[in-house]
Chains A and B, each alone.
Chain A
């Protein structure tokens, strides 16, 4: 893009009417926003009715960190690890925002984070972490446990 070095500002508005102004280089980390910029639809404030202010701020923070050339590889890794230390509501909000805004890498990181919360855990632990109600009868649970025993050696 020939205008990548320009100081063009992109204006975004969250679902709860908070506005954010970021440099174009930061905004285009989102493929969705990049398409809008390329199509010339980014001149006015872009409304984002499915992303609230708290989540949008996080996403933009992520994007900013990723265009910052002064950030080292190690710093970026630490940032990404700390970034995802969130409560579940924020985590899922982030997942949906990253999906909608199509931010490269962020969606993958969130999915990996959720996977890490499940990995190596027994069903009771997974239920506790994700507040899942156990709707099996004890007989059903035993039946499934035997059915799946082959994978647990």
Chain B
């Protein structure tokens, strides 16, 4: 290790940077945004080699995507099989995740058995927890509600054949338009509408248990929340926030009116009880239903779309950062005409899920022309600090251009749908979609031509590895 001499001597001897150990250099690079890391890599051959280390890029991926995605990717044996090596090509993987432009769809075929399958439905809940897909409730023909819980084992690799198993019925009571989120390994279900039109505001906690002999079971219990709870509602939006919080916004309330309130549920450590409190902010997103809430970067909640008070379909994007001391909904303004095909962006009944790389994947839903869609969009708000004024500089316009990206979809072509549900596995690379409302070619008994779909399919992020 070189001892420091006088400053004039070391600067004429070449770069003092060469005295820094690799560990310290990696620590410094990990403090930098990607473009600065690559700028540094472009200075000379030695630093290019160092900054291309896959060990470094694994740390960068861990930093930017979170440890869960990275650990899940490492365990995913199909990626390793492709490369027959111990180390994933992290630098290349990071680049391809950032540049994601296509998805590949796969029909998940059902095995040839006499086992029952979940009936076609919409406005149900679909979650991935403890290696299982969990489906609950929803609405079906005749406007009837469902009260069944189904699970399907997924495991670490995506499988093209899935076995659905019915594990519960009757509890919670039948409903559709409820929300269900995953917090740690628990499912937290809230609200919904039953087929009498009654809106609920009860909160349920579900836990999967795998018995050696008895197989898989799921127990639901009513959560004790004390005297304060949000007004009853359905078609609201909810998302879990990192630790023990759930955020709920809007929906259609008791008198059929759309609401624009924001509530947070905080659960105790053992998930036996919880406390609701309302978050009052000004400004706040207008009242709406059929919109989406997604949590990115651990603390930022992104709200998109929905149907407003005047029955119009919305396309506004709002962000709330739960880590700030004063909670605020901030709108991210953008111009539809500036986005290619952006005219179709107002959406209701779409699905919004966080995918590998930390951005939001928006799929399907109904547009402002009352057409159901089948397109995929990636919403990226990371480039924008909260822009609350009309973008006037060229730089802002460029940042906003990165905000929406339409993806190409190859492979299986499912029907356009709305009020379907979607969730990813731990890696964030695979998205499972089930159900929804689709247009029927053959007119059913109702004159609307609407059908409920019972298809389960997989959306794979194409990463060209």
Contacts and interface: CB of A to CB of B under 8 A. Distances in A.
Interface of A: 15, 50, 52, 55, 87-90, 92-93, 95-96, 99, 111-112, 114-115, 118-123, 126-127, 130-136, 141, 144-145, 148, 150-153
Given A120-B36, A132-B43, A89 B5 contact: yes
A122 B39 contact: yes
Interface stretch (B13-21, B199-207, B210-218): B13-21
Contact of B15 (A131, A136, A153): A131
11 contacts: A52-B4, A88-B11, A118-B39, A118-B40, A123-B39, A136-B45, A144-B48, A150-B95, A151-B34, A151-B38, A151-B98
B402 interface: yes
Given A50-B3, A95-B20, A132 B35 contact: no
A127 B4 contact: no
Contacts of B11: 88-89, 131
Contact of B35 (A134, A135, A141, A152): A152
Interface string B6-32: 110011001111011000100111011
B47 A132 contact: yes
A112 B24 CA distance: 11
B44 interface: yes
A39 to B, nearest CB: 24
Q: Identify whether the interface residues of A are mostly helix, strand, loop, or mixed.
A: helix
A131 B10 CA distance: 10
B99 A131 contact: no
A119 B39 CA distance: 9
B46 to A, nearest CB: 8
Chain B contact-residue range equals 35 or more
B7 A87 contact: yes
B16 to A, nearest CB: 5
A131 B7 CA distance: 13
Given A52-B4, A121-B39, A126-B40, A112 B31 contact: yes
A88 B47 contact: no
B3 A52 contact: yes
Interface of B: 1, 3-7, 10-11, 14-17, 19-20, 24, 27-29, 31-36, 38-45, 47-48, 95, 98-99, 383, 398, 402
Nearest to B95: A150
A95 B95 contact: no
Contacts of A52: 3-4
Contact of A118 (B3, B7, B24, B32): B32
Contacts of A122: 39
B256 to A, nearest CB: 45
A118 to B, nearest CB: 6
A93 B4 contact: yes
B39 A111 contact: no
Contacts of B10: 88-89
A132 B7 contact: no
B28 A118 contact: yes
Contact of A133 (B14, B19, B27, B38): B14
A131 B16 CA distance: 8
Contacts of A55: 4
A126 B7 CA distance: 18
A112 B30 CA distance: 10
Given A88-B10, A134-B44, A145-B42, 18 more contacts: A50-B3, A52-B3, A88-B7, A89-B10, A99-B24, A111-B24, A111-B31, A112-B31, A118-B39, A122-B39, A123-B39, A123-B43, A132-B17, A132-B44, A136-B42, A151-B34, A151-B35, A151-B95
B39 A141 contact: no
Contacts of A135: 44-45
Contacts of B38: 148, 151-152
